Amino acid sequence: MKSSIVVLPGDGIGPEVVTEAQAVLSRTAELFGHEISYESFPIGGCAIDEFGEALPGETLSACRSADAILLGAVGGPRWDDPQAKVRPEQGLLKLRKELGLFANLRPIKPHPALLESSPLKREYIEGTDVLFFRELTGGIYFGESGVTGAGADETAHNVMIYSAGEVERIVRMAAEAARNRRGKLTSVDKANVLEVSRLWRRVAERVVREEFSDLEYEVVLVDAMAMHLISRPSTFDVVVTGNMFGDILTDEGSMLPGSLGLLPSASLGDPGPGLYEPIHGSAPDIAGQDAANPLATILAGAMLLRHSLGLEREATAVEQAVAEVLDAGHRTRDLARQGEDSIGTREMGRLVVDALTAD
Ligand code: IPM
Ligand code: MN
């Protein structure tokens, strides 16, 4: 099989973690007899520096014609000026929107060898295996916004907006995933306060009633979910929610496996290429120090093999290699407990490459 992947390293630790994920993908392709070609394009802060925009036209058109896209991270203090006209994050948001990537899958499954690395007690996290479906191209991220007035009257607003169709398609995708897992779907909203959540709840309930009555279905308010995600994470299977709630809850959820540096994500639309990235940011404080954990991006690579290239065995091989390396006790700095030795980004990548096998 021949595939072309567009690589968007981005800013901060982005280039470092993407390099390791690419090495893992290349080795996997070699082992299983596939051909993967890569082309790299700028996005985010580095694109602003070079072209004055966060998502240059050339980057976007390359993404459109790729089989899949692998992204590192965008952003950093250099581009953080609140007065700035262009921000690195706009590049990522525009890319998601332009490619119609409305479904952001974020699996959270603590690795058994890392149960002690989580700030939470083992008995709370054991057995956790949650798959978040975060709506990614709507909600408050893409509603109308503006600033008016001056002085004490200076006022800013962001509109949270969802159409029934937008809710329907993400709920349907999440429900289908639940059907292939443990058969439970949780929809998260704030329907006791927000009109937009009341629409979300009505539509979600209708989709489940009409098309997925075989599923166990529950609705949870987002504030309560923030609590339940820590007090009883193992009771959730598939969770579906809007853009901002999903952003916040999945960062919270990353503490279950112990580090943000472990969580991959896939952004899918239909049809077209998927976008694969770690859920962590550009971590400018440790950029260039060989200190970042590349596993989230490597696992995003596994999701790319599975969802965009249809290579299930290959995806599993990558996940097994990561598990083996963790089982053997290797830890990057974010995972090492006090007194434990840690290894660098490159070393972690090399260990995963070496652990890969085709059987
Ligand atoms: C994420 C990030 C992005 C988001 C930022 C960088 C725009 O936090 O992918 O979760 O808020 O969606
Ligand atoms: Mn986020």
Predicted confidence (pLDDT) per residue in 5-30, tens digit:
999 999 999 999 999 999 999 999 99
Q: Using a 6 Å CB cutoff, which residues line ligand 1?
A: 75, 89, 92-93, 247, 279
DSSP letters of 54-99? SS-HHHHHHHHTSSEEEEEE---GGG--TT-S--HHHHHHHHHHHT
**359 catalytic per annotation:** no
Give 247 Cα–ligand 2 centroid separation in angstroms.
Answer: 5
Residue 50, CA atoms < 13 Å, CB-side half-sphere? 15
Measured CA to CA, the distance from residue 239 to residue 340 in angstroms comes to 35
**190 catalytic per annotation:** yes
Q: Is the pTM of this model over 0.75?
A: yes
Q: What is the pLDDT of residues 233-267, one digit of tens each?
A: 999 999 999 999 999 999 999 999 988 899 999 99
User: Which of the pair, 254 or 198, is modelled with greater confidence?
Assistant: 198
pLDDT averaged over every residue in the chain: 96
**49 catalytic per annotation:** no
Strand partners, 122: none
Quote the pLDDT of residue 82: 84
**153 catalytic per annotation:** no
Q: Out of 11, 189, 247, 334, pick the active-site residue.
A: 247
Measured CA to CA, the distance from residue 347 to residue 342 in angstroms comes to 10
Length of the chain equals 359
Give 251 Cα–ligand 2 centroid separation in angstroms.
Answer: 6
Q: Out of 49, 80, 223, 270, pick the active-site residue.
A: 223
67: number of Cβ within 10 Å:
17
pLDDT (average), residues 113-121:
88
292: number of Cβ within 10 Å:
31
Residue identifier of the C-alpha nearest atom 10 of ligand 1: 247
Quote the pLDDT of residue 359: 80
Question: Are 104 and 136 a contacting pair, CB within 8 Å?
Answer: yes
User: What HEC string does 167-230 produce?
Assistant: HHHHHHHHHHHHHCCCCEEEEEECCCCCHHHHHHHHHHHHHHHHHCCCCEEEEEEHHHHHHHHH
Residue identifier of the C-alpha nearest atom 6 of ligand 1: 89
The two three-digit tokens of residue 96, written as one number: 């998601």
Q: Out of 11, 190, 217, 276, pick the active-site residue.
A: 190
Residue 244 CA: which ligand 1 atom is closest? 11
Preceding peptide of 233 cis, ω within 30°? no
Residue 75 CA: which ligand 1 atom is closest? 6
Q: What is the pLDDT of residues 301-318, one digit of tens each?
A: 999 999 999 999 999 999
Domains annotated for the chain, with CATH where assigned, are: 1-102+264-359 (3.40.718.10), 119-256 (3.40.718.10)
List the Cα angle 315/318/322 in 5-degree steps.
140
**217 catalytic per annotation:** no
